């Protein structure tokens, strides 16, 4: 990608994050004196695991049992709703966006945690910045190709470690884990990250997703044992 284009995208992301900075500071992980984010960077001096979690070496598969098989030639990602400019990205557009690598933890509400997962992908804040959320935008719903939905307030969605990942542990993300592209939300329980992501819908109000409608916590903070509502 040409440097000036990348520069413009990064600028747009910084501006968008600035709008939500105060609210981001108030979320548990960022506001605590010792940040309880996810991944090795935030684990210094902290217990390794949120209460009630145990480490898994494997990687269990949890979903609704409808595994969509989307070839890259048909894959697209839409960002729409309360935005100035709806965006539709084909695979080649997505992969040309600024890429990020991060190592973070994956906490499932069913009590297993997978630690230190190396991920590669695009920050959710980048694709949101491309679409320019309206001033009144407050939340997003992410939709999977399987019909799954989950919701996030923008102050969570814009965190640096919230990624649209296409690579895990150096390999293309396996389809059973949401490939070609899924969302990860390392500071929240894993159901907040849609596998097989197809659409990021920007909203001016909160709207509960699949599990949030069925009794899972809307806020979903692992470090507060915040599992069910």
Ligand X SMILES: Nc1nc2c(c(=O)[nH]1)N[C@H]1C(S)=C(S)[C@@H](COP(=O)(O)O)O[C@H]1N2
Q: Give the binding site for ligand X (CB under 6 A).
A: 59-64, 108, 144, 146, 148, 177-178, 190-191, 193-196, 211
What's the rounded Cα separation, in Å, for the pair 154 and 137? 8
* 16 vs 197 by CB, closer to ligand X: 197
* 20 vs 191 by CB, closer to Mo ion: 191
What's the rounded Cα separation, in Å, for the pair 99 and 199? 19
61 binds, among ligand X, Mo ion, none (CB under 5 to 8 A by kind): ligand X
Token pair 């539709």 in the structure block, residue: 88
Cβ neighbours for 57, distance < 8 A, ≥ 6 positions apart: none
193 binds, among Mo ion, ligand X, none (CB under 5 to 8 A by kind): ligand X
What's the rounded Cα separation, in Å, for the pair 44 and 108? 21
* 13 vs 143 by CB, closer to Mo ion: 143
Residue pair 200/124 in contact (Cβ under 8 Å)? The answer is yes
* 56 vs 99 by CB, closer to Mo ion: 56
121 binds, among Mo ion, ligand X, none (CB under 5 to 8 A by kind): none
Which residues sit opposite 176 in a β-bridge? none
Token pair 């994050």 in the structure block, residue: 17
Q: Quote the least distance from Cβ 37 to ligand X, whole Å.
A: 19
Q: Give the binding site for Mo ion (CB under 5 A).
A: 62, 191
Q: Which residue is nearest to ligand X (CB)?
A: 144
* 138 vs 219 by CB, closer to Mo ion: 219
Residue pair 144/86 in contact (Cβ under 8 Å)? The answer is no
Token pair 């899972």 in the structure block, residue: 216
175 binds, among ligand X, Mo ion, none (CB under 5 to 8 A by kind): none
């Amino acid at each position: 990608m040409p440097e000036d284009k990348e520069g413009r995208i990064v600028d747009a992301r910084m501006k968008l994050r600035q709008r939500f900075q105060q609210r981001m500071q108030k979320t548990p992980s960022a506001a605590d004196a010792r940040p309880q984010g996810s991944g090795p960077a935030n684990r210094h001096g902290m217990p390794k695991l949120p209460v009630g979690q145990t480490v898994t070496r494997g990687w269990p598969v949890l979903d609704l049992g409808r595994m969509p098989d989307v070839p890259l030639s048909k894959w697209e990602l839409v960002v729409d709703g309360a935005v100035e400019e709806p965006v539709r990205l084909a695979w080649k557009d997505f992969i040309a966006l600024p890429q990020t690598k991060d190592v973070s933890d994956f906490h499932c509400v069913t009590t297993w945690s997978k630690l230190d997962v190396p991920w590669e992908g695009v920050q959710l804040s980048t694709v949101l910045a491309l679409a320019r959320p309206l001033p009144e935008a407050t939340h997003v719903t992410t939709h999977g190709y399987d019909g799954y939905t989950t919701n996030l307030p923008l102050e969570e969605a814009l965190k640096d470690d919230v990624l649209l990942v296409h690579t895990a542990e150096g390999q293309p993300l396996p389809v059973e884990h949401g490939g070609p592209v899924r969302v990860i939300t390392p500071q929240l329980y894993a159901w907040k990250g849609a596998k097989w992501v197809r659409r990021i819908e920007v909203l001016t109000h909160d709207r509960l997703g699949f599990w949030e409608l069925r009794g899972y916590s809307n806020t979903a903070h692992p470090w507060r044992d915040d599992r069910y509502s």
